[in-house]
Structure formats: structure tokens, C-alpha cells
Amino acid sequence: MAATSPRTTLPAPGAAGDLAWPWWPLLPLYPYGRRRTLVRELIPEQLWSFEQLQGVFYVAVPIRMTVARVRGGLMLYAPVAPTAELRRALAALEQRFGPVITIVLPTASGLEHKLPVPAMARAFPQAAVWVSPGQWSFPLNLPSSWLGFPSGRTRVLGEQGFPHPDELHWLSLGPLNLGLGRFQEFSCLHRPSSALLITDALVAINPQPPELFNLDPTPLLFHARDRGDQPLQDSPELRLKGWQRLALFASYLRPEALNVPPLGQLLGQAFRPGCRNARSYFGLYPFQWSRSSAAVFAELQAQAVGGVQVAPVLERLVFPRAQGLLLEWLRQLARLPELRWLVPAHYDAPVPCSAAQLLQLAEALERRRWAPDQGDWGYLAGIDSWLLRRGVVPEQPLG
């Protein structure tokens, strides 16, 4: 049985249908059509975390929906896939605190947060749906109603007011012009819990493997190896090693220390005894670390202030030419006197947070080089300059 914290509710595994997420082909990320959900109470009787895994080729990091108690019921912030298992856990909360009355899509660009919203809206036909302005889709920019957002009860954050303004303080980061569409996310301070709910702008990368992996540690064990012919083995040390590597993949896409072995070597290590199964991709393992991933992970964590940092992908691909906007947003957050906790939509939560810490983070970001080109940042920088050269992203994202 998986170890859990005292405040975790781990529903007993039910039928496969309980975990089914039939819309996975629209964004084919691991674990595809089978999503388990870890439910944790973050702030007693006020806030809950519903976490699922998402990723590619076992590079999977937690994605979180936050459930907040509001007057008259519950608000879902950044929905995840509404599997039967998840809906049962939500029904248990509804019994205690009232119905789901509000569903919020707080981002214009985060596809992984956008995709589950229409299904969640159908699961709660009485709930009002609020979306960040400037929604867009790729490769075809379709109207929201075509994407399944219920037009009769969908409202736009800011343009048509805000939900629960007496209990929630709403703040916008952006808009920024990304070329293909806009980046904008709305965070809100949930006053009853003093927690700030945010989407992608800040993260607190768990120093240890997130509890969600207790349900299935396969992605950790897969990446803890150094060669394809090593069978998947399990130990706390290997889980940690695998987690550090997953966090580095998710942060930099391709950290500097990561090499892809030549095809001959790759195939030579595949299909060996102990690896002839789908779980280990038949020994196909196209990764080779040229230095200790633990050391690279320590360098990544050293960028955080009090455990909180700007995700490198966001810094290098969304804000490389808009540092001022992000710093101004951090200073705006620091003016929220009640702020005690941060609850992002990925990685760890809740994270203790204070005005002083956010000001310190803003100063640290100003002191160091913003959106570097070198080292672990090189691959992200290459993507950015490729997009710039082709005119996909504008030189001036603030218009």
C-alpha cells in the first residue's frame, strides 16, 4: 500500500473505468487514457488539491486542480481531467461544503489546463464557467464554443467581472503577445485561507518525489537508469534520482548534461533480458547524463527563494523580453497583506509565502542575468531564437 500523508485521501483503486479520461488523444500526454488522482486537503476545510500526472515518455510532473471553499459551495481552479474517481472525491466535498458553483480556467495559453474544462463544465451543468480572456487554440484558432465551452454560462475574467469578489482578490499577469496567441494568467488570493492560487508563473519544485508517484513510481524508476539495458529497480534513492531528472527535463527540456546516445548504442542496449516489456519501452532509453543530475538539480533549486522560483521554461520562452512585467507582478503580489501560502498548478503546494519573500525573489531576479543563453538554458534559448528568426514570436511582446 502506498504511503500517504495524514491529510491525503487515496481512494481505493476501482474499475479501470474509474480512471478513464477518453479525451486524452487531444493532448496525448502520459498516462494517456488512465488518470489517477491524489486528493489532499491543503488548508483544513478551505482548500484541496486534486493532482494528476501528465507528461511525455515518462517525463511526467504533477498537474493540480485546486478546490476552494467559497460562500454557497466550491470553486474549481484550473480543472484536471474529471474521471469517475475524481468526481467521487468531489461529490464527497460537495456533501460537506455545498455544490460546485464556479469553474475557472485561469490561463489563456496553458493547453494542459484548458483541455479538461469543457468536460468538467459538462460534469457540473449548474456551475458558472469563467475563463481568462484571449483564449486561443492551435493549429486552428477556433471559437471557444467550438472547443466545448458552454456559451450560455461562460464569462470572461476581468471583462465581465470576477467570481466571488468579496472572498477572492484577483490579479492578472499579462497579457503578453506570444505571436500565436497571448499569455495571460489570473491568480487569486483566497482570503479565508490566505492562499494565493496561481497557474504556471511560479513553482516550488519538490526536493523529494511528489507523493503522487506513490501511486505509480514507474516514470521515476524509468529515468533513474543510466542505460537502456538496466531493468527498472525500486529504492528510495532511485526514486529521488528519477525525480530530479524529471524536474530537470520539465524545467529545461534538454539540460546541458543530457546527451542522446548514438543510434547504434541505443539499439545495442535495447531488448535485453529484463527489459523486454512495454513498461521499460523494451530497453529503448535515449538519454545519457554527462554529469551528476543531482548536482544539476541542486543548481536549479538554488535559483529559488524560500523554495519559490520562476520556471525556466516560462522565463526563457514566455518572458525573455518582458522581465519588467513579471517583476512588477511579483511586487504587486507582495502588496497583498494577508498572503501566507502559495498554491501553484504544478509541483509542490501549499508553500509558505510572504511579501518579504516575493520582494527578495524580485531582487534576486534583477541581480542575475535574465533569460540566459548558456549552459542548461541553451536549448530553450535555441528554441526562442528559432521562433524569433521566423517571426513566430514578436521582438516586442508588450505591443
Q: Minimal distance in Å, beta carbon 195 to Fe ion?
A: 18
Could you say whether residue 55 binds Fe ion (CB under 5 A)? Answer: no
Is 200 or 384 the residue whose CB approaches Fe ion more closely?
200
**In the chain, where does DSSP find H-type helix?**
84-97, 111-114, 117-123, 218-223, 236-252, 263-268, 293-301, 312-313, 323-333, 355-367, 378-389
Which residues contact residue 138 at a Cβ distance below 8 angstroms, ignoring those fewer than 6 apart? 111, 180, 181
Taking CA atoms, 342 is separated from 8, 42, 264, 332, in Å, by 19, 11, 47, 14
Per DSSP, 183 falls in state E
- Report the greatest alpha carbon distance in the chain: 63
For residue 317, the 8-state DSSP code is I
264's CB contacts (< 8 A; 6+ apart) are none
Q: Smaller CB distance to Fe ion: residue 199 or 218?
A: 199
Q: Record the cell numbers describing residue 195, joined without a space.
A: 492562499
Nearer to Fe ion, 183 or 222 (CB): 183
> What is the closest distance, in whole angstroms, from the C-beta atom of residue 223 to Fe ion in the complex?
20
Shortest Å distance, C-beta 114 to Fe ion = 10
Judged by CB under 5 A, which stretch of 85-93, 200-208, 317-325, 388-396 contacts Fe ion?
A: 200-208
Find the shortest distance in angstroms from Cβ 315 to Fe ion.
14
Distance in Å, CB of 6 to Fe ion, minimum: 28
C-beta neighbour count of 1 within 10 angstroms: 5
Q: Please report how close the Cβ of residue 238 comes to Fe ion at its closest, in angstroms.
A: 27
Task: For residue 189, give the C-alpha cell.
Answer: 488570493
Name residues contacting Fe ion, limited to 110-169 (CB under 5 A). Answer: 110
For the CB of residue 231, give the shortest distance to Fe ion in the complex, in Å.
33
Q: How far is the CB of 253 from Fe ion (least distance, A)?
A: 14
Amino acid at 146: W
Query: Residue 113 Cβ, how far from Fe ion at the closest point, in Å?
Result: 6
- Of 18, 200, 315, 348, the one binding Fe ion by CB under 5 A: 200
Return the number of the residue (85 or 200) whose C-beta is nearest Fe ion: 200
C-alpha cell at 73: 459551495
Identify residues 263-302 at the interface with Fe ion (CB under 5 A): none
Q: For Fe ion, which is the closer residue by CB, 62 or 350?
A: 62
Q: Which is nearer to Fe ion, 47 or 61 (CB)?
A: 61
Question: Radius of gyration (Cα) for the chain, nearest Å?
Answer: 21
Residue (67 or 201) nearer to Fe ion, CB: 201
Q: Which is nearer to Fe ion, 110 or 283 (CB)?
A: 110
DSSP state of 65: E
Part of the chain binding Fe ion (CB under 5 A), chosen from 6-14, 192-200, 229-237, 336-344: 192-200
Cβ neighbours for 95, distance < 8 A, ≥ 6 positions apart: none
Cell 521554461 appears where?
A: 313
Nearest residue to 210 via CA among 341, 348, 345: 348
Sheet containing strand 8-9, edge to edge, reads 8-9, 38-43, 47-56, 59-70, 73-77, 100-105, 128-131, 154-156
**Residue 18 or 200: which CB sits closer to Fe ion?**
200
Question: What residues between 85 and 114 interact with Fe ion by CB under 5 A?
Answer: 110
Give the count of residues interacting with Fe ion (CB under 5 A).
2
- Comparing CB distances to Fe ion, the nearer of 200 and 315 is 200
Q: Name the one range near Fe ion by CB under 5 A: 197-205, 247-255, 271-279, 352-360.
A: 197-205
Round to whole Å and give the CA distance between 157 and 283: 48
3-state secondary structure of 197: strand
Find the shortest distance in angstroms from Cβ 308 to Fe ion: 16
Q: Which residues bind Fe ion (CB under 5 A)?
A: 110, 200
